[in-house]
Structure 1
Amino acid sequence: MQKVILPFVSGFLAALFFREATIALLHAAGVVDFAGYSTAPFLPLGIPEFIANALWSSVFGILMAWLLRVAPERSAPWVGALVFGGIVLTAAGVFVVDPVRGIWPSGNLLPRLAVGFVANAMWGWGALVFMRAFMAEGDRR
């Protein structure tokens, strides 16, 4: 269970409680124009964007747990989780998911990449928080 289901659930919850909350806080601070928890339809599926992002994040939660070797008997890779979330999720969103949806990277990408890095780094940290929280009490470090 700790190899697939736990990272899947952790990635989903981290997207809702960390990534989307970070975007909402950046919006409240006036840094970004778009708010978190977007209910706009995610094309081509038609589900709300924040649910689609959480589902994608679930898959990346499994990948992160495998690459960083998250396990109860090992110490938590906190910096690796921040870097994984910030770089991998941002790159996948900008260069894979958006072009599939018909949104091509163009113009000045720095503001978009910076906001994506911050929000997705918080996702990586949050996913690791949930993974460690769900592990057995006696097995954590």
Structure 2
Amino acid sequence: MQKVILPFVAGFLAALFFRESTIAILHAAGVIEITGYSTTPFLPLGIPEFIVAALWSGFFSILMAWLLRVSPDRTAPWIGALVFGGIVLTAASVFVLDPLRGIWPSGNMMPRLALGFASNAMWGWGALVFMRAFTAGSDAD
């Protein structure tokens, strides 16, 4: 149970504290137009988009913990977490989730992919930070 719940919570919190904060900071710096913590309703559920993103991030962090073998007795795979977050979450968002919502990849995708990579890489790093913090005092299985 600990191998599922703790990574889910770590990914959920990382989305709130790392991914959305990165987007908000980039918006405050004038680099991007979108703001972090978007309260736009996610259709068809009607809940804010940042909550939906945090829920999806929780599921992806379970996958990341399994693929990167995150464990208290191993060294932390910091580069792997950055790359996993930046590539896997961005690709899932652009090529799977958005087409399900009717948003198709078209035109110049570089600004969107760059923002996705930066914010999701920070999510990966943050998820690993939380996972390591949650398992710091526990025994390895």
- TM bin, normalised by shorter chain, reads over 0.9
Q: Are the equivalent residues in 2 in contact too, given 1:44–1:101 (CA < 8 A)?
A: no
Alignment partner, residue 72 of structure 1: 72
2: CA distance, partners of 1:52 / 1:31: 24
1: CA distance, partners of 2:122 / 2:111: 17
List 4+ stretches of structure 1 deviating above 6 A.
none
Distance apart, 1:139 and its partner CA: 5.6
Alignment partner, residue 108 of structure 1: 108
2: CA distance, partners of 1:136 / 1:14: 17
Distance apart, 1:4 and its partner CA: 0.2
1: CA distance, partners of 2:62 / 2:77: 15
Distance apart, 1:2 and its partner CA: 2.9
* Count of equivalent residues: 140
Q: Determine if the alignment matches structure 1 residue 44 to structure 2 residue 25.
A: no
2: CA distance, partners of 1:96 / 1:38: 20
Identical pairs, percent: 79
Q: Deviations over 1:86-129 (max 9, x none)?
A: 00000000000000011000000000000000000000000000
Q: Deviations over 1:34-56 (max 9, x none)?
A: 10000000112111000000000
Distance apart, 1:5 and its partner CA: 0.3
**What is the TM-score with the length of structure 1 in the denominator?**
0.96
1: CA distance, partners of 2:14 / 2:126: 5
2: CA distance, partners of 1:139 / 1:76: 16
> Aligned-pair RMSD on alpha carbons?
1.2
Local SS of the residue matching 2:2: coil
Q: Which letter does structure 2 place at the counterpart of 1:87?
A: I
2: CA distance, partners of 1:110 / 1:55: 26
The answer for unaligned runs of 5 or more in structure 1 is none
Say if 1:124 and 1:105 are closer, same or farther in 2 by CA, change over 3 A. Answer: same
Alignment partner, residue 137 of structure 1: 137
Say if 1:137 and 1:25 are closer, same or farther in 2 by CA, change over 3 A. Answer: same
Alignment partner, residue 3 of structure 2: 3
1: CA distance, partners of 2:14 / 2:43: 22
1: CA distance, partners of 2:139 / 2:78: 17
Distance apart, 1:138 and its partner CA: 6.8
Alignment partner, residue 58 of structure 1: 58
Local SS of the residue matching 1:137: coil
Alignment partner, residue 122 of structure 2: 122
The answer for unaligned runs of 5 or more in structure 2 is none
